Amino acid sequence: MNKKNIEKQDFGKVVLNEIVGGDPKAKKQKKSVWKAIQIPVLAIITGLFIGAILIAATSETVYAAFREGFFTGLGQAFKEIGTAYLALITGSLGNPVSIVAALKSGDAAAIRSAVNPFLESLVQSTPYIFAGLACALGFRAGLFNIGVEGQLFMGAALATYVGYSITGLPVYIHLPLAILAGALGGAIWASIPGILKVTTGGNEVINCIMMNYIAYRITTFLLTGPMSRPGTGGMPVSPIIQKTAEIPQFFQTPIRFHAGFLLALLVAFAVWWVLFKSTWGLNLRTVGTNPRAAKYAGLSIAKTTILGMALSGALAGLAGANEILAVNRSMAIGLSSGYGFDSIALALLGNSHPVGVILAALLFGVLKNGATRMMVVSAIPIDIVTIIQALILIFVAAPAIIRSIYRMRKVKEESIATVTLSSWGGGK
């Protein structure tokens, strides 16, 4: 062991190593980063591959072509897959040809609309980032917060209320207030199962699911009653929020790219800092990894558990607030397309690390955005993308499948690297 070498080490690398569970020696750095991401990367590739087969297998025209001849059929299959995935890519990242053309023309409006598919993907990713962080933080604290969806609704409701009901505040007070209201709504909702777990031993998984149901009904009641928009005749829609509570969008409609995305990145950084750089985070992670050792070290498991749930819920609330304040500008029942449940998948895909969660959220945003385009261009149902997402997650959740497909050797320290997953289904 070379002690000097260790002393000189940059601590950023150290933290990275701690995340990937690798050896700190610089030589092995690349290897261990690859080790940490190889399963998700291979899972994505495999998912897209199986998706391609499904695209071909569900296409009428491919069957018709096969009746004409085997190679005609094969050609048609490849053509369909090509069209579909090309649409998926151009729909989510932009068409390189039109981007180059727009850049050449120098017309600002043209450039904006050429890069809009990409910007729209970022918009789609934003709630995924917040929700994914919520779940990831929960996992790090040994908590399976399956109630992100309900917390998102409660956060959104409170943010909406603060957003439309208060008038006459300057934007720099009103907007932060509305955002914080969102976080608070989620935090309060999440701390209830946290408190139940601590005081009664109630399993947070079950209680979170129940809290989801209650949250749906409460928001429905609010939107049709106290918070309904006057003049809509009982439609479950809230009033439109004040201009001062809006998270600004950078360009004119239809480009929806907004500052919420930057806020999400900022929050991800904050979560990383808290988890890995502060005593709070060490408390959370110690309780999450080994509660008995945490007790031995003098931590209050009760306090840490409630705090962990509240922080997780606050992040979920931010996801809701973001959708209201930046995109929808008013609250409706169809606020979330299951962000709360996808968040579990995101945390899993990102190994409960903020950077991993951002990458996973970008992937989800891209797939979701591209799928719409794919449906328009090649008439492939949007559900194919849902299936691809599901496949990717199955492969990440059951890495043995990927290992056997690619004949990888089992990593001995597996349980060490993916520590947070040991708490799954957990909660005593």
Partner 1 sequence: MAPILQLKGITKQFPGVLANDHIDLTLNKGEILALLGENGAGKSTLMNILYGLYQPDEGEILVNDKKVTIHSPTDAIKTGIGMVHQHFMLIPVFTVTENVMLGSEPVKAGDFLDRPKTADKIREISRQYKLEVNPDDRVEDLPVGVQQRVEIIKLLYREAEILIFDEPTAVLTPQEADELFLIMRSLVKQGKSIIFITHKLREVLDVADRITVIRRGKVVGQADPKTANKNELAEMMVGRAISLVVQKEVKAPGKIVLSVKDLVVADQMKQMVVDHVSFDVHAGQVLGVAGVQGNGQTELVEAVTGLRKSVSGSVDFGGTEITNASPRKITSLGSAHVPEDRQADGLVLPFTVAENLVLCTYYQEPFAKGVVLQYDKILENSISLVKDFDIRTPSPLTAVGTLSGGNQQKVIIARELSRPIQLLVASQPTRGLDVGSIEYIHKRIVQKRDEGCAVLLISPELDEIIELSDRIAVMYRGKIIATVNADNVTKETLGLLMAGIVPEKIESAPNGEKVVETTF
Segment interacting with partner 1, rule: CB under 8 A, options 131-139, 306-314, 371-379, 412-420: 412-420
Distance, CA of 374 to CA of 90 (rounded, Å): 9
SS3 332: strand
- 419 lines the binding site for partner 1 (CB under 8 A): yes
423 contacts partner 1 (rule: CB under 8 A): no
- Pick out residues in 292-321 that bind partner 1 (CB under 8 A): 292-300
Q: Which stretch binds partner 1 (CB under 8 A): 57-65, 195-203, 286-294, 363-371?
A: 286-294
Sole binder of partner 1 in the list 61, 290, 330, 386 (CB under 8 A): 290
Q: Which is nearer to partner 1, 109 or 416 (CB)?
A: 416
8 is an interface residue for partner 1 by CB under 8 A: no
- C-beta of residue 309 within 8 angstroms of C-beta of residue 191: yes
Reference 160, options 229, 257, 67; nearest CA is: 229
Which region among 54-62, 249-257, 338-346, 408-416 touches partner 1 (by CB under 8 A)?
Answer: 408-416
Q: Which two tokens stand for residue 168?
A: 């006459």
What is the Cα gyration radius of the chain?
23
- CB under 8 A: which stretch of 7-15, 63-71, 330-338, 339-347 binds partner 1? 7-15
1: contact with partner 1 by CB under 8 A: yes
- Residue from the set 125, 151, 207, 286 that interacts with partner 1 by CB under 8 A: 286
For 64, the token pair is 């018709």
> Which residues, 6+ apart, have CB-to-CB distance to 153 below 8 Å?
215, 216, 218, 219, 320, 335, 336
> Which of the stretches 3-11, 116-124, 258-266, 310-318 binds partner 1 when contact is defined by CB under 8 A?
3-11
If one asks whether residue 21 binds partner 1 (CB under 8 A), the answer comes out as: yes
User: Quick one: which of 134, 138, 131, 128 has its CA closest to 363?
Assistant: 128
* Under 8 Å between Cβ of 234 and 224: yes
φ, ψ of residue 103 to 5 degrees: the values are -60, -40
- Asked if residues 322 and 263 have their Cβ atoms less than 8 Å apart, the reply is yes
Measured from the CB atom, the residue of 1 and 230 that comes closer to partner 1 is: 1
Compute CA 106 distance to the chain's CA centroid, rounded to the nearest angstrom.
Answer: 35
Select the span of 18-26, 120-128, 245-253, 382-390 touching partner 1 (CB under 8 A).
18-26
Residue among 352, 343, 350, 341 nearest 284 (CA): 352
According to the binding rule CB under 8 A, does residue 24 interact with partner 1? yes
Name the one range near partner 1 by CB under 8 A: 5-13, 149-157, 181-189, 244-252: 5-13
Of 67 and 292, CB closest to partner 1? 292
Is residue 195 within the footprint of partner 1 (CB under 8 A)?
Answer: no
Peptide bond connecting 239 to the previous residue in cis, omega within 30 degrees of 0: no
233 three-state secondary structure: coil
Nearer of residues 100 and 416 to partner 1, judged by Cβ: 416
Q: Is 104 in the site for partner 1 (CB under 8 A)?
A: no
Tell how far CA 76 is from the center of its chain. Answer: 36
* Cα–Cα distance for residue pair 289/94, rounded to 1 Å: 42
Question: Considering beta carbons, is residue 114 or 287 the nearer one to partner 1?
Answer: 287
CB of 291 to partner 1, least distance (A): 10
Task: Identify which of residues 1 and 167 has a Cβ nearer to partner 1 in the complex.
Answer: 1
Q: Is the four-CA dihedral 245, 251, 257, 258 of positive or negative sign?
A: negative
Q: CA nearest 127: which of 299, 325, 270, 300? A: 325
What sign has the CA pseudo-torsion 207, 208, 210, 215?
positive
Q: How far is the CB of 30 from partner 1 (least distance, A)?
A: 16
Q: Quick check: 14 binds partner 1 (CB under 8 A)?
A: yes
In whole angstroms, give the CA distance from residue 232 to residue 331: 13
413 binds partner 1 (CB under 8 A): yes
Instruction: Tell me if 206 contacts partner 1 by CB under 8 A.
Output: no
Q: Which residues bind partner 1 (CB under 8 A)?
A: 1, 3, 6-7, 9, 11, 14-15, 17-18, 21, 23-25, 277-280, 282, 285-286, 289-290, 292-300, 412-413, 415-416, 419
